[in-house]
A and B are shown apart, each in its own frame.
Chain A
């Protein structure tokens, strides 16, 4: 039970971390390779401390890992939490596929031709 709560919390954290355009931009940038805080701040009109704050949120969500080299502490993307998010969505896929199969046959029933011979091509 404890693990359920932990995973759930972690996932909420991932969603919360992603619900910000600057943080998404940071992740997109890191997807192209590691960067340090200074490089990450460049394209944005925000201060270094503001970027650091965003990075902390991303770190807490497990999306970014920071190196230990004191000066530069390069940031590296960790896509694992994103893969976790995909799991709930994939659980839904077969449900929707089955729904649309039913929708398809329901439509056929609705259109049931009184006489046949609708195919003449």
Chain B
């Protein structure tokens, strides 16, 4: 509905009543990350986060269902780490050892890309923090995946302008 709803990505902007350092910790320190990341009704029993460029991440989400406890694992790699400013990491569904699995095999809705990229940008606004989070699909195994989302967004807005 807004300009930010580009095809192929989710962009969410928030203002937090907290300094950038604290928001950065929320994304990069497992003990904090676990507290908010799990979807409602889920918990995060495992969050391994080697926050440096090329470092791996492995996240487990656990949900209680009528059929018992269900776990979903996610893995990925940190691509950009600029303290208190910018964090970029990839995410794929995986098993508990971090071996990537296809989202459809895991029962995700069709059309989910195998790998997605999360970009977190932080900006200090007089002691508060403006955060822009972009979650975009990445074409499979593409080495030049970074920046692809931006190019795509441009294209999407061209198309949008034409079709409305």
The interface residues of chain B, by DSSP majority, are classed as mixed
Shortest beta-carbon distance, A32 to chain B, in Å?
Answer: 7
> Which candidate, B16-24, B63-71, B80-88, is the interface stretch facing chain A?
B16-24
CB pair A83–B7 under 8 Å, yes or no, is yes
Bound form: Cα–Cα A51–B5 in Å: 31
The interface residues of chain A, by DSSP majority, are classed as helix
Inter-chain contact total with CB atoms closer than 8 Å: 121
Bound form: Cα–Cα A107–B136 in Å: 26
B155 at interface by CB-CB < 8 Å: yes
**Tally of contact residues, B, Cβ under 8 A:** 46
Please, could you name 30 A-B residue pairs with CB atoms under 8 Å apart, sorted by A?
Answer: A4-B104, A7-B110, A7-B111, A15-B113, A21-B151, A27-B155, A31-B155, A31-B158, A82-B155, A83-B7, A85-B7, A86-B6, A86-B7, A87-B109, A88-B109, A88-B111, A88-B112, A88-B137, A89-B7, A91-B109, A92-B135, A96-B12, A97-B12, A99-B37, A100-B14, A103-B36, A106-B35, A106-B36, A107-B22, A107-B23
